[in-house]
Amino acid sequence: MATRNKSARPAGKTARVEVKNEVKSSGKPGSSRNHGTIEPAKGKLGVMIPGMGAVATTFVAGVEAIRKGLAKPIGSLTQMGTVRLGKRTDGRSPKVKEFVPLAGLDDLVFTGWDIFEDNMYDAASKAGVLDQRLLDELKPFLSTVTPRAAVFDHNYVKKPTAAHQSLKAFEKAMRDNDEMIAPSMVYAYASLIEGVPFANGAPNLTVDLPVMLELSRENEAPICGKDFKTGQTLMKTVLAPAFKARLLGLSGWYSTNILGNRDGEVLDDPGSFKTKEESKLGALEHILQPALYPELYGNIFHKVRINYYPPRGDNKEGWDNIDIFGWLGYPMQIKVDFLCRDSILAAPIVLDLVLLMDLAKRSSELRGLAIQEWLSFYFKSPMTAPGLYPEHDLFIQLMKLKNTLRYLKGEELITHLGLEYYD
């Protein structure tokens, strides 16, 4: 959740929309027009994180290290990425953070909830992702970030029920302490009712529920999710589009992971793995479109496994065996062994989502849309409007994201047609 003091509240509840400073179209003859207005990024931006574990502490400690000039924001599109504008010959490629008005890292303030009482210094030390020397240097700041009391029970809700279909039914179920209301739903509800954007990095169905869509739209609180696209699925959504682009067939994809952090422990449990499995399996089907290419992708054996293996800690090994076939059906194999660090891959995603969701909230064009599909780039199971299939191909997702920024700023969208260079 990313919240601005008061200004994050839905229009109508508090008066604070600063019209005079809005970024408006230049209106120059021949120039394209901005789409809508974007309020400036003023004041502090509050980031509230349900669960101060490995990802959250790596993100917050990382932001502080970057602010102190001790490290670079590697992996963050908002901090290091550029957007090409106009023709390839124009030489205009500003940084994303210079092109659209994003909050600065110095404006971020953090809090969150956890079932443990550890402050961020202790939690980060236990997570064991970052070097202890770095954490010690950041201790004066990290130890001031302490969790609030969690909403907690052991229920986990497998399927949406009547309690999730409307705001009225949901609020009644909350009052009745209905077990169909999972803790994650309470956090999402609290955020959206206040008009605060909510990004779901976990694989649960919390913001996919009709009640959350209703709240999001009503309070102009953008939502997106779900499940950060970090290690193995990131690789899948790079490789699978390459096979499809070259019309190479696929007969099997076996993926296994070993990891030793708390997330690994949770996912070793078959019940908790179920939603993760669904979120990991969906990507291939959507990218490869077996209905359009039955001879190539109509019969794929796809298996995903996650095994808890404590010696690895947060350092996951994601191993893929891919059986493909080419010309005349000749089989080939690809092996990928990604020795990755889960939270190191997730932290820049959290940063980007905080800044881009805040941008969405300040954009008159985006804030009323509820689902921010342009942020699919960051998720294993991107949310879409009902009836629309999700876009999983990483490079299409990136184009969608950058074109959305160009669109907001009235710049020409890039289609890669390129015929104009040969006139």
Ligand X SMILES: NC(=O)c1ccc[n+]([C@@H]2O[C@H](COP(=O)([O-])OP(=O)(O)OC[C@H]3O[C@@H](n4cnc5c(N)ncnc54)[C@H](O)[C@@H]3O)[C@@H](O)[C@H]2O)c1
Which CA distances in Å does 393 have to 135, 166, 188, 353, 378?
36, 33, 28, 19, 11
Largest CA distance in the chain: 69
Residue 115, interface with ligand X (CB under 6 A)? yes
- Minimum separation from the CB atom of position 342 to ligand X (A): 4
| Interface pick for ligand X out of 114, 320, 352, 411 (rule CB under 6 A) | 114
> Of the listed pieces 44-52, 134-142, 171-179, 241-249, which binds ligand X according to CB under 6 A?
44-52
Q: Residue 335 forms beta bridges with which residues? A: 321
> Of the listed pieces 8-16, 28-36, 112-120, 357-365, which binds ligand X according to CB under 6 A?
112-120
- Minimum separation from the CB atom of position 126 to ligand X (A): 9
* Total interface residues for ligand X by CB under 6 A: 29
CA-based nearest residue to 184, from 161, 152, 208, 211: 152
Q: Dig out the tokens for 11 from the structure.
A: 């229009």
| Interface pick for ligand X out of 3, 191, 255, 261 (rule CB under 6 A) | 261
Instruction: For 285-325, list the strands marked E by DSSP.
Output: 301-308, 315-325
Count CB neighbours of 74 within 10 A.
Answer: 12
Which is it for the CA torsion 372, 375, 381, 387, positive or negative?
positive
Q: Which is nearer to ligand X, 53 or 249 (CB)?
A: 53
Residue 335 one-letter amino acid = K
Count CB neighbours of 291 within 10 A.
Answer: 9
Which CA distances in Å does 64 have to 68, 71, 254?
6, 9, 39
- Minimum separation from the CB atom of position 256 to ligand X (A): 16
Q: What is the DSSP letter of 42?
A: -
| Per-residue binder mask for ligand X (CB under 6 A), 331-350, x = binder | -----------xx-xx----
d(CA 146, CA 127): 15
The residue nearest ligand X at its CB is 53
Q: Which is nearer to ligand X, 194 or 323 (CB)?
A: 194
- Minimum separation from the CB atom of position 317 to ligand X (A): 13
Residue 202, interface with ligand X (CB under 6 A)? yes
Q: Which is nearer to ligand X, 224 or 346 (CB)?
A: 346
d(CA 50, CA 272): 18
Q: Which is nearer to ligand X, 55 or 239 (CB)?
A: 55
> Of the listed pieces 61-69, 198-206, 213-221, 403-411, which binds ligand X according to CB under 6 A?
198-206
Among all chains, which residue has been given the structure tokens 């969150």?
Answer: 112
d(CA 395, CA 378): 12
Count CB neighbours of 242 within 10 A.
Answer: 11
Residue 54, interface with ligand X (CB under 6 A)? yes
Q: Which is nearer to ligand X, 183 or 197 (CB)?
A: 183
Among all chains, which residue has been given the structure tokens 């019309």?
Answer: 247
Residue 262, interface with ligand X (CB under 6 A)? yes
- Minimum separation from the CB atom of position 50 to ligand X (A): 5
- Minimum separation from the CB atom of position 202 to ligand X (A): 3
| Interface pick for ligand X out of 230, 257, 275, 315 (rule CB under 6 A) | 230
> Of the listed pieces 132-140, 227-235, 321-329, 392-400, which binds ligand X according to CB under 6 A?
227-235
d(CA 120, CA 420): 54
Radius of gyration of the chain from its Cα atoms, rounded to whole angstroms: 22
Q: What is the DSSP letter of 113?
A: E
> Of the listed pieces 64-72, 258-266, 288-296, 413-421, which binds ligand X according to CB under 6 A?
258-266
- Minimum separation from the CB atom of position 133 to ligand X (A): 21
Q: Which is nearer to ligand X, 107 or 268 (CB)?
A: 268
Residue 45 one-letter amino acid = L
Count CB neighbours of 204 within 10 A.
Answer: 21
Site for ligand X in 116-155 (CB under 6 A): 116, 127, 150-152
Note the residues at the interface with ligand X (CB under 6 A): 50-56, 113-116, 127, 150-152, 183, 201-203, 227-228, 230, 261-263, 342-343, 345-346
